[in-house]
A and B are shown apart, each in its own frame.
Chain A
Amino acid sequence: KQEVTQIPAALSVPEGENLVLNCSFTDSAIYNLQWFRQDPGKGLTSLLLIQSSQREQTSGRLNASLDKSSGRSTLYIAASQPGDSATYLCAVRPGDTGNQFYFGTGTSLTVIP
């Protein structure tokens, strides 16, 4: 079974800092990997989706990379803002069944004004 881990579990940074969130998975046979943002008590908002054949995806200040062979993905947030404060989750879609995503444990981010 795929296991997905996110480090760190919590992160607090001053506004304007660039930061990196990490996601590790145990089985490299994946279809894709998706990064989500979740505000307290709300649903999950998709940020970026990286296919297994891609190395990175970018959206605005966000850049996600994927190194499938080493089982790692990173989410880079440039020039962080207080509005970026949320929990960030990665989810991996396996390549065998493809019908289920496995979630990471999440990183709770606080950006201090």
Chain B
Amino acid sequence: DTEVTQTPKHLVMGMTNKKSLKCEQHMGHRAMYWYKQKAKKPPELMFVYSYEKLSINESVPSRFSPECPNSSLLNLHLHALQPEDSALYLCASSHPYGAVGYTFGSGTRLTVV
């Protein structure tokens, strides 16, 4: 299995809602990433998990809460989001060090209303 699977593909949520994005990979990668991408911009790094531990948090607001329950799963919990948080959220996996590149999921298109 050489894929990263993200669910849901689309999500519309109100500013008072709580929702979660899910990412799953079965490539044996031990680093997993969340990126946020706005239209016509490159992806912006949010979080990095290395061996299931949070290793990088790029000063992301606390309304975004990541979780890595095991080496195959990565969640992003969302609460009290703002309309400006509407974006494409991308998950990726790799090895923490060395010669392996990124594998990306197809993304979740999030709209906050």
Contacts and interface: CB of A to CB of B under 8 A. Distances in A.
Contacts of A45: 104
A54 B102 CA distance: 18
A34 B90 CA distance: 17
Of A51, A91, A100, the most chain B CB neighbours within 10 A belong to A100
A3 B56 CA distance: 18
Nearest to A4: B42
Interface of chain A, main secondary structure: strand
Contacts of A46: 101-104
Interface residues of B, number: 27
A99 B56 contact: yes
Interface in A57-102: 89, 91, 93, 98-101
A99 B42 contact: no
A59 to B, nearest CB: 13
